């Protein structure tokens, strides 16, 4: 099972998890979260904010220790929203989204009957500078994926 398959399974699971949720988009309209795999869409102009609100699912390091042990794959989720409210509550929205992700995956640690979440999961907010009206948060997780074994062929 490849990191690519894990990433795609996570995209589908996040789409299911947030299917009933709406958040403000760049036009101050309620819209569903956009869930993207690996990269945000290319911008059509400098001020193109059409991808907000979003969750970006990125594959990090994949570690193989041996051909007898399962491998691990780091996944980083980036959450981005726009909230032009002067009360600066955008971080609360991001915290709500990351908490929902945290709650879901820590109580459902097996994904697609083949990937297992390791129990350490880290959620954080981007707070190094004021980017109002943009707010960001992150979820870092590590998944156990089946090891690649010598002599076993896999069709991609």
pLDDT, tens digit, 9 for 90 and up, residues 52-111: 999 999 999 999 887 778 899 999 999 999 999 888 889 999 999 999 999 999 999 999
Give which of 120, 127, 83, 125 is closest to 105, Cα–Cα.
Answer: 120
Cα–Cα dist 82/95, whole Å: 14
For 92, the domain range is 3-39+51-145
**30 has pLDDT over 80:** yes
User: In the structure, what pLDDT confidence band is assigned to residue 115 with cuts at 50, 70 and 90?
Assistant: very high
Has residue 150 been placed in a domain?
no
Has residue 46 been placed in a domain?
no
Pairing between strand 115-125 and 23-24?
unpaired
Has residue 154 been placed in a domain?
no
Has residue 114 been placed in a domain?
yes
- CATH assignment at residue 110: 3.30.2000.40
Q: Average of pLDDT values for 107-133?
A: 92
The total number of structural domains in the chain stands at: 1
């Amino acid at each position: 099972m490849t990191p690519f398959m894990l990433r795609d399974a996570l995209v589908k699971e996040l789409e299911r998890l947030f299917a009933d949720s709406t958040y403000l988009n760049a036009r101050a309209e309620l819209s569903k979260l956009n869930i993207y795999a690996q990269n945000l869409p290319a911008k059509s102009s400098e001020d193109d904010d059409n991808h907000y609100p979003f969750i970006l699912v990125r594959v990090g390091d994949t570690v193989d220790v041996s051909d007898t042990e399962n491998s691990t794959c780091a996944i980083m989720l980036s959450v981005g929203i726009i909230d032009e409210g002067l009360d600066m509550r955008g971080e609360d929205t991001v915290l709500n989204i990351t908490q929902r992700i945290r709650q879901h995956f820590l109580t459902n640690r097996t994904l697609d009957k083949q990937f297992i979440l390791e129990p350490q999961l880290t959620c954080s907010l981007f707070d190094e500078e004021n980017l109002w009206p943009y707010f960001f948060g992150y979820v870092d997780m590590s998944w156990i994926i089946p090891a690649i074994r010598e002599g076993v062929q896999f069709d991609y």
